[in-house]
Amino acid sequence: MAGGKETPRQKMIGMMYLVLTALLALQVNSAILLKFQFLDESLLGVNGKTVTDNAGVLSNIRSAVDKGGNRSSDNRVLGNAQEIRKRTDEMVKYIREIREKLIAETGGKNPDDPNQYANPSGEDKVAMTMIGAAAKKNGAAYELKDKLNAYAKFLKPFNPNTPDQLANDGKDDPVAKNDKAQRNKDFAELNFENTPLVAALAVLSQKENEVLKYESDALQKLATQVGADIIKFEKIFAMARAESKTVAAGTKYKADMFIAASSDAITPKMSFQGRPVKVVDGKGQVEFTAAASNYDAEGNSKQSWKGQITINQNGRDTTFQVQEEYVVAKPVIQVQSAAVQALYFQCANELNVQVPALGAVYDPSFSASGGTAIKGAKKGLVTIIPSSTEVRLNVSSGGNAIGSETFKVRPIPKPTLVAIVNGRPLDVKRGVPAQSFRQVTIEAVAEEGFKQLLPKEARYRVTRWKAYLVRGTNPIDQVDVSGPSENLTRFAAKASKGDRVVIEVLDVKRLNYKGSVVDAKTSGDTFWNIPLN
């Protein structure tokens, strides 16, 4: 830990580090794992705030240099500050990459609870990743040690309070050097041997915090050299900026409200409709779901929102009022389908449902009454399987209801049966020569409009029929056929002029969109009386 005067935040981090070190020496159980995760998340939160603060100091240095006339000495200070910020960003990015690698190697996040890890322990995976195979010492922690210490060496000329090393072996660590079991370990073994995932992540967060802390000290020292540690406001006024003044109902309204002369060195307090809002880089982030109950003839509804911005000016709070108007546009549902006027009963009717007013934020979900709605692979595609005479399709986007459309349901058209004898359509009036009556095929032909709209539903097959050779009123022979075709050469061998062949279709099936076989009713003739001549 560095000497000198420390801020309350730095003192808190020091205390958390001591707690972390103490926990590492304990036998790990589930309660301790949770404490490690809490420490890690707390450290990450502090680190994020420190990054913002450090960026603000750099911005102040740049502004001070500009106001000072861009003197060469001041530009050297700015160049050093920019290099420090760059090197720190690279160091933090590297540590974050190690974090992600550890999480991935131990199984990632818990699929049932994304706020938890799949394997918060995972000591073997941590050791293999960070230390490496036995006796080889080729894990990621050894490169991390080199990078951390190289960063400390780089930073020390700008901040003499920076320690010579940020990654210590046991003999150099202020806590471990007094422990016989720990002082002979190197940096990797000290921090990642027999260490659960959540503890390893907390160690990485703590090292990241040290990097950011010493960066902060260095930037503050540079800031004093150009007077950037003094915050000045010449003119202050409140502003609001919306992404769009016209939004569709069910979509997010987004706007920034901010102080025009805002500084990265201060954080104004902002609220919307009496509730605090998140402030990033001096701008309050306003976001809410747009809604309206009354629309004009053009489908628009004028609305407004109010916000407040409070800053501390000369030791006194000053509050500015913000009021912004916007327009809520009524969304229009567009359904694209050749069969949009009516759907087919118990068939997979594919629809393309779009709401142009929502643009890129359109994230549809569907439900249906009187049928089933199945969301398609592409945005807006939905398949409706009706189970009643009318279907009501409900459309939502991002969890917000958009509207509904109602469709009539029509029955499936019955297929027509066609008899083909010897490769030609049967002509019952002309009959068939007795000695040439051989190959017979019965086809079930789908209604053309139905076939074009839903080809996956219009697949029919005659599965059973009977054929009789009749002389006078007496049957001479009969065949029970499974499938659409049969060779009746045996009839030709027995037939004489004046005999008849009687065909009766008993069963027709349809293959639906699921690939399931269902019964099908037919229209027209299912019975033929064919004269032989």
Report the pLDDT value the prediction gives residue 230, as an integer from 0 to 100: 43
Say how far apart CA 463 and CA 483 lie, in whole Å. 4
| Whether residue 386 has pLDDT greater than 90 | yes
Residue type, 159: N
Say how far apart CA 212 and CA 428 lie, in whole Å. 95
Say how far apart CA 107 and CA 14 lie, in whole Å. 31
pLDDT category, 229, cuts 50, 70, 90?
Answer: very low
Helix (H) or strand (E) holding 427: none
What is the share, in percent, of the chain residues with pLDDT greater than 90?
40
What share of residues in the chain are helix, strand, coil (percent, to 5)? 30, 35, 35
Q: What is the mean pLDDT of residues 261-282?
A: 77
pLDDT category, 15, cuts 50, 70, 90?
Answer: low
238-329 CATH pick, 3.90.550, 2.40.128, 3.40.1710, 2.60.40: 2.60.40
State which fold the 334-410 domain adopts: Immunoglobulin-like (2.60.40)
- Token pair 């030609």 is found at 424
| Whether residue 235 has pLDDT greater than 70 | no
Report the pLDDT value the prediction gives residue 26, as an integer from 0 to 100: 46
Q: Strand, coil or helix: what is 344?
A: strand
Q: What is the mean pLDDT of residues 201-225?
A: 91
Q: What is the pLDDT of residues 347-383, one digit of tens each?
A: 999 999 988 877 778 889 999 999 999 999 988 999 9
DSSP 533: -
Report the pLDDT value the prediction gives residue 354, as an integer from 0 to 100: 87
| Model pTM score | 0.41
Joined together, the tokens standing for residue 156 give 């020390």
Helix (H) or strand (E) holding 304: strand 300-313
CB-based contact 17:206 (threshold 8 Å):
yes
pLDDT category, 244, cuts 50, 70, 90?
Answer: low
**Regarding predicted confidence, which is higher, 342 or 42?**
42
CB-based contact 117:196 (threshold 8 Å):
no
CB-based contact 531:431 (threshold 8 Å):
yes
Report the pLDDT value the prediction gives residue 365, as an integer from 0 to 100: 92
Residue type, 206: Q
Rg over alpha carbons for the chain, rounded to the nearest Å, is 39
Say how far apart CA 156 and CA 148 lie, in whole Å. 12
Residue type, 297: A
- Token pair 């002509």 is found at 427
Say how far apart CA 159 and CA 137 lie, in whole Å. 32
pLDDT category, 68, cuts 50, 70, 90?
Answer: confident
Report the pLDDT value the prediction gives residue 533, as an integer from 0 to 100: 86
- Token pair 């160690």 is found at 203
Q: Strand, coil or helix: what is 78?
A: helix
CB-based contact 309:259 (threshold 8 Å):
yes
Say how far apart CA 105 and CA 139 lie, in whole Å. 13
Report the pLDDT value the prediction gives residue 314, as an integer from 0 to 100: 42
Query: Sign of torsion, CA 419 420 422 427?
Result: positive
Whether 238-329 and 334-410 share one fold: the answer is yes
Q: Alpha-carbon dihedral of residues 424, 430, 434, 437, nearest 10 degrees?
A: 20
Closest Cα to residue 437, out of 496, 525, 505? 496
| Residue extents of the structural domains in the chain | 8-226, 238-329, 334-410, 416-531
Report the pLDDT value the prediction gives residue 291, as an integer from 0 to 100: 79
Joined together, the tokens standing for residue 403 give 């509207």
CA distances from 321 to 177, 233, 238, 311, 502 (A): 58, 19, 7, 12, 92
Closest Cα to residue 311, out of 274, 279, 286? 279
Helix-helix angle 72-105:140-155, to 10 degrees? 170
pLDDT category, 97, cuts 50, 70, 90?
Answer: very high
Cβ neighbours of residue 34 under 8 Å, at least 6 residues apart? none
pLDDT category, 252, cuts 50, 70, 90?
Answer: confident
Say how far apart CA 364 and CA 335 lie, in whole Å. 13
| Helices (H), ranges, 156-196 | 187-192
Q: Strand, coil or helix: what is 178?
A: helix
Q: What is the 3-state secondary structure (H, E, C) of 364-418?
A: EEEEEECEEEEECCCCCEEEEEECCCEEEEEEEECCEEEEEEEEEEECCCCCEEE
Q: Alpha-carbon dihedral of residues 390, 396, 402, 407, nearest 10 degrees?
A: -10
Report the pLDDT value the prediction gives residue 316, as an integer from 0 to 100: 57
